[in-house]
Structure 1
C-alpha cells in the first residue's frame, strides 16, 4: 500500500481506471470510513448508508472504463455517494431534488477535529450549534466539507460543479451568515 500512498490523486485514480485491483483496495481503505461518516450526515440510517457506500464502489469498479480522470478523488467520491444516496431516497420520496437532501452535523464534529476538550467552551459550542442549525442544509454541507473534511476550494468547486472563485465566494458568504447567526446568540 505504501506504493499507492506516494501517488498523486490523479495517478492513483488512473491506476484504478486501468483495472489495478490493489489501487481500488487502497482507495476503498482510505475513503470508506470518511464516506460512511459523510453519508450519515445526509441520511442517519447506518445500514442503508453502508450499503450505498459499498454499492457505489462496486458500480465504480464495474463502470471504471467509462469514468473520467479526476485530480480530486475525495470530492469525486463524495459526489458519487451523494448521488447514490439521492437515488436511494428519491425512490421513497416524490419530487425530491438532490439539493433537498438534509444535512446535519453536530458542532462536536468540528471541536473533536480541531480543539481540545474544555469545560469553558461548552457555551461557545452550544451557540455555534444553534448558529449552524440556522444555516440551510447546503450551507451546513459546505461548512462540513471545508472544515471537517478539509476539502480545498478546488475540490469543493469540483463537488458543486462550480469554479474555484465561486466556491471561495460561497464559503465566504456562508461564514458571514454563520458569524451573523452566532452573534445573534449573544
Structure 2
C-alpha cells in the first residue's frame, strides 16, 4: 500500500483515483472496507451478499471514475452507496417481508464487541448487559443513527444523507435514543457515549 496516500485529504485521494490511479482506489478500499462491512451486515445479515455489494460498488466506481464528481468525504459517499446497493438487492429479491430501508420496515442489528482494555476500565458487566438490552428497545432507525454517529463519527447532516431522511428527523431519532438509553441505564451521558463508542 502506498504510504504517500496517508498524507492525502479525501479530496486529493479522490482526485488521484479519478485520474486513473489504481493504487489510490486500493488505498480507499483498504481504508474503508472495515466500516463498510460492519455497517452492511447490520442492514442485512448475509455477509457474502454485503461483500458482493461492496465489490460491485468499487467495480462501478472504477468504471465510472472519469465521470465521478468532486466530494469531501469518501466514507460518507461509500456508506450511502452501500445502503443504496443493499436496498436495491433487497428490492430485487422481493422478500416476503418486503423490507424497505427507506421506511420503518427494516431491521438494524446491533452487536457489541467490547475491547478488553475498556472492559477493565468500566468493570461492570451488568451495565454492559443493560446497554445491549436498552439498545434492543430502540427502533431500527434509532439504532442505525446511533451507529453512524458513534461508530463512524458522522454528524447529523451526514447521517441524514446516508439514511435518506431529513436532518431534523435524525436529530430527533438520536435525541430520543440517547434519552431512552440514559433512562434505562441511569448513568451520565458521558458514560453512555463511552459505551456506544464500543460498537
Interval containing the TM-score (normalised by the shorter chain): 0.7 to 0.9
Alpha carbon RMSD of aligned pairs, Å?
Answer: 2.6
- Correspondence for 1:124: 127
Which structure carries more helix by proportion? 1
For these two proteins, the number of residue pairs brought into alignment is 181
Q: Deviation of residue 157 (structure 1)? A: 4.1
**Is 1:87 aligned with 2:88?**
yes
Tell me if the contact between 1:52 and 1:84 (Cα under 8 Å) persists in the aligned partners: yes
In structure 1, list runs of 5 or more residues that go unmatched: none
Q: Deviation of residue 171 (structure 1)? A: 2.6
**Is 1:179 aligned with 2:174?**
no
Tell me if the contact between 1:146 and 1:156 (Cα under 8 Å) persists in the aligned partners: yes
Secondary structure (helix, strand or coil) at the match of 1:102 reads coil
- Correspondence for 1:4: 5
In structure 2, list runs of 5 or more residues that go unmatched: 187-199
Cα displacement string for residues 126-152 of structure 1 (whole angstroms, at most 9, x for unaligned residues): 111111111111110111111122234
TM-score by length of 2: 0.77
- Correspondence for 1:54: 55
Match of 2:153 among 127, 150, 153: 150
Secondary structure (helix, strand or coil) at the match of 2:16 reads helix
Cα displacement string for residues 73-117 of structure 1 (whole angstroms, at most 9, x for unaligned residues): 1111111111111111111226543233421112x24x3398234
Tell me if the contact between 2:141 and 2:173 (Cα under 8 Å) persists in the aligned partners: no
Q: Distance in 1 between matches of 2:170 and 2:69?
A: 22
Matches for 1:65-104 after TM superposition, within 5 Å: 65-93=66-94, 95-99=98-102, 100-104=105-109
Q: Deviation of residue 65 (structure 1)? A: 2.8
Q: Distance in 2 between matches of 1:31 and 1:91?
A: 26
Q: Distance in 1 between matches of 2:12 and 2:158?
A: 16
